[in-house]
Structure 1
C-alpha cells in the first residue's frame, strides 16, 4: 500500500543482497498522513534477523564484490545513471513527502528536484577528488597517500527531509566505494524504496545497496553489529549520543548531524519590518521541523518590543491549511507525538514568565490533523527551557540583548551549534560576527543553505560534515604507502 501517485514495486519487501525479500520479522510499518490522520502506506518491517542479513550482504559485497575496486570514474558513471533514473520520479518523491509528513505540496516539487540535481555534484567527485597523491619523503623516496573506502556503511536518515538526507549519504558512500545499509525512519520509508529501486534499475552489484526500514529496537540491533565499519546518522542529539556510545565501544567510524537551537542576531542597521518578515516566515518552513531552524532571535533591547509586534503581525497573516492547498503557508507537524511535544514546550514557555505574544493553540478551523499555530514568545530568558532545548516546531523565541557583545554571548550560550544568522546590511560585519559564534554554518540575513558547501555542527549538534567536496572525507580511510622508488598508481 502506497499513497496515490507513488508507485513502489515491492513495498511488502526488503531489499537485501540485490533481491526483494520478505521480512523475516513478518511485521509491517504503517505510515500515517498527519493532515488526515489516515494510514496512507504499509511497508515491510525489518527485524533483527533482517538486519543481520542486510549487513552480511553488504559485508560480502564489500569484501568480495567488484564495487570497492571499481575505478572512481566508473563508479561516477553508474551513479550518474542513478540520477537519470531518479529525475523522472521527482513527482513521486514529492507526493510521498507530502503524504508522509504533511510537507507543503507547493514546495515539494522544487525541493526534491533540487535534491536529485545535487546528487550529480556528489557523483562527480569520482573525477574531481584526489584519490591518490604522491610526494617525496624525508625518510623514504616516495610517499603515496591513498584514499580507500571505509567499508560497510549504515545510513540512518530522519523523517523531516528523508530523500535528500538519505540520498546524500548513499551517494557519498557509493562514490567512495563503500557498500550501504539504508535504515530510513519508520515515519518516512518510501523515499528509500525509490533509491533502492534506482540501484536495482542501473544494475548496482548485489549487496552494494540494501534497505531495511524498522523501528528503534531493530535499528539498535543494527548499530551493534560487529560487521559494520561506519554509521552516518542524522537525527536528534539524544539518539546521536546513544549511537555514538555504541560506535565508540566497537571503534566504528561515525558522523552525526544532530539538533540545533540556532540564533539569529539582529543588528541595529537592519530594518525591523524586514527582520520580522524573514523570521516570521522562516519559522513556518516545514512547520518549523528543521534542524537548522533559526528558533532564537536576539535583538537589542531598545528594538525588542517593536520587533515582537512586527513578527506577531507576520505570524497572524500566515495561512494555515491542508498541505495540498496551493495557498497554504503552514501545514501540520509530522505526527501526533510531535504535536504533543510542541504543546508541552509552549506550556513550559508560559510557565517560564516569557510573554506569549501570539499563537500557542491548535487552529480552530482545522478539525482534523496535527496542526499548531505559529507561536512567538518575547522577553525570553536564554536560560529557560524553550530557549535551550530544541522544540522542532513553529515556535520562535525573541531574546533581548544589551548590545552586540551581549548578543554574541547569548548566541554562544547553548549546548548546540548547528546554524545561525546575522541580520545586517554590512557583509563584513556579518563575517566578523560569524567568526565569533560557535556554530557550523552562519548565513547573512536568514536561514541560508548552500548544498555545495559542508554542513554540520559544533558541540551537541554533531561530529563531522556532510555536503560539498568535504563530505566524502567521512567515507574514506587514508592509507600511507612508503616505497624506495617511485611507483605507478
Structure 2
C-alpha cells in the first residue's frame, strides 16, 4: 500500500491542514490501493502564496527559455524511467486497462517533446519590421501569463496534468495542480519527479482535493490563469468565475463525437479503428467516437460487425493481459452509465448487445457491459448527452448532406471522423463538421497540432505551439 501523508506545496512536502487521510480504493474490487493527504482551502492559500512569490520575485520567469527547457528535459527523462510504475498505479487507482495506461505513460514523453520543440522555435522577443519612417523600433515580447491553476479530471490524470503543466512551465509560469481524489497517489508522485528534475522552490504545487476546494482555488485572487479539463457543466462554472474576475481561461470539455461511415467505407477497418477510438480507457474519454452514423445501404452490415466487436472485448480485471475494458472509476459513474442504457431502452432504441446488467462474475467492481444501440434517432438523450462509458449508438443516413447535418446536430464539437475510400469527399465532409479535431479513416493526430473543441466542448487549444501560446501574454515595446 502506498501512503502520501503530505501535500506537495511549492516544491516541499508539507503537512496538510486536514489530518484524516483520503482512502484510494480499487474500482475493480474495492481493495485499498493507498492513503493520501487531501487539500482544503488553507492549503490552497499556502500553495498560491508560494506560486505567487516564485513568479513575482523568484528566478523561474527570469530564467532564459533554454534554461527552463533543460529542466523540462530532465523531467521528461526521469518520468520515462518510472513509466511502468506510473502505469501500474494509474490502473490500480482508475481501473483503466493496463494496455492503455502503459501506452499513455510511454506516449507522454512524445507529448512533452512536442512542447519542447515549440518552446525552442518560439520567438520570445522579436523586432517587428518597420513600415513607416516615423515609427521607431517596435519589440514584441512573449511573457508568461502568471500563476496557473491547472484543474484536471480523473480519467487521464498525467496526460491532463502535463498537457497544462509542461507548456505553462516552459513559458515561465508557476503552477498549482488540483487533481481529483481518485488519482491522489499518482498525481502526488509527480512531485517526486519535479523535485528531482530541479524545479525551483515555489514553482509547482500538487493538491488532491474535492470540488469545493477546486472552486476555492480557481476563485483565488492570486491566480492569473485557469486551465481546466472536465465536464461541460463544471467548465461553465469555471468560465463564469473567470469572467467575473477577468482571469485568462482555457477549457477542454466534453464530447459526443460522430463517426460518419459512407457507403464505400471499409467496414473491417472501421471496426478495428473504433475498437480504440470508441473504447480506449473503458470509454471514459471525452474524444470517444460514440455516435456512429452509417449510410443506410451498409447499415445492417455495420451493426452486425459492431455487435461482433463489442462481444469480443474482454471486460474484467484491468491488470489482466487479455482485458480490454476495465471498470468504471466510481460506483456513481457505473450507475450513470447503466442509467443511460436504461434510458436508451425506454426511448425506443434497439438494444443490440450489452445492457444495464452488471457483467456476471464482476459484481464486486464498478463494471458495465459494452453496449450497442441501433435504430437511434439523433434527438434521443443517448445520442445527445455524453455518457462517458462503453456505449455506442448507431444512426442511419441517406446522403452526405444528411450525415453532416446529424453530426453537427449536437451541443458538442470536440472530435469525429469519416470512413470512406474517397479522400476528396472525406475532406469536403471534414471541412463542414463543426469540431476541433476530425480524422479520416482513423488517422492518428500529431502532438504538434492543436487539440480542443467547438461549442460546448471548450475554449482554447492544447498541444504543440498553439498549446504553448495559451500560457503567454504579448507585450509591445515601442522604442
Partner of residue 23, structure 2: 30
Aligned equivalents of 1:387, 1:107: Cα separation in 2: 26
Report deviation, 1:27.
Answer: 3.5
Partner of residue 460, structure 2: 464
Listed as ranges, the matches of 1:80-91 within 5 Å are 80-91=73-84
Map Cα deviations across residues 341-393 of structure 1 (whole Å, 9 max, x no partner): 00110011011111111101321132321111110111111011000000000
Listed as ranges, the matches of 1:285-434 within 5 Å are 285-360=280-355, 361-434=357-430
Secondary structure, counterpart of 1:400 in structure 2 = strand
Report deviation, 1:426.
Answer: 2.3
| Distance verdict in 2 for CA 1:96–1:229, change over 3 Å | same
Report deviation, 1:424.
Answer: 1.1
Secondary structure, counterpart of 2:92 in structure 1 = helix
Residues 76 and 125, structure 1, Cα contact 8 Å, conserved in 2: no
Map Cα deviations across residues 289-328 of structure 1 (whole Å, 9 max, x no partner): 1100000011112322221122112211222221111111
Residues 153 and 173, structure 1, Cα contact 8 Å, conserved in 2: yes
Q: Are 1:43 and 2:36 matched, yes or no?
A: yes
Report deviation, 1:104.
Answer: 1.3
Q: Is there any run of 5+ residues in structure 1 with no aligned partner, and where?
A: 3-9, 484-489
Residues 69 and 116, structure 2, Cα contact 8 Å, conserved in 1: yes
Aligned equivalents of 1:431, 1:27: Cα separation in 2: 55
| Number of aligned residues | 476
Partner of residue 245, structure 1: 240
Partner of residue 450, structure 2: 454
Partner of residue 6, structure 1: none
Report deviation, 1:165.
Answer: 1.5
Residues 266 and 421, structure 2, Cα contact 8 Å, conserved in 1: no
Report deviation, 1:447.
Answer: 7.3
Aligned equivalents of 2:446, 2:253: Cα separation in 1: 18
Listed as ranges, the matches of 1:55-204 within 5 Å are 55-135=48-128, 136-138=130-132, 140-204=135-199
Match of 1:474 among 467, 470, 473: 470
Which TM-score applies when normalising by structure 2? Answer: 0.96
Report deviation, 1:281.
Answer: 5.4
Secondary structure, counterpart of 1:45 in structure 2 = coil
Aligned equivalents of 1:468, 1:384: Cα separation in 2: 37
Aligned equivalents of 2:339, 2:71: Cα separation in 1: 48
Aligned CA RMSD, in angstroms, stands at 1.5
Report deviation, 1:202.
Answer: 2.5
Map Cα deviations across residues 240-285 of structure 1 (whole Å, 9 max, x no partner): 0001110111100000000000000001111334323433554321
Secondary structure, counterpart of 2:83 in structure 1 = helix
Map Cα deviations across residues 128-153 of structure 1 (whole Å, 9 max, x no partner): 11111211253522221110000000
Secondary structure, counterpart of 1:189 in structure 2 = helix
Partner of residue 215, structure 1: 210
Quick check: 54-63 or 426-435, which moved more? 426-435
Secondary structure, counterpart of 1:182 in structure 2 = strand
Match of 1:205 among 200, 209, 227: 200
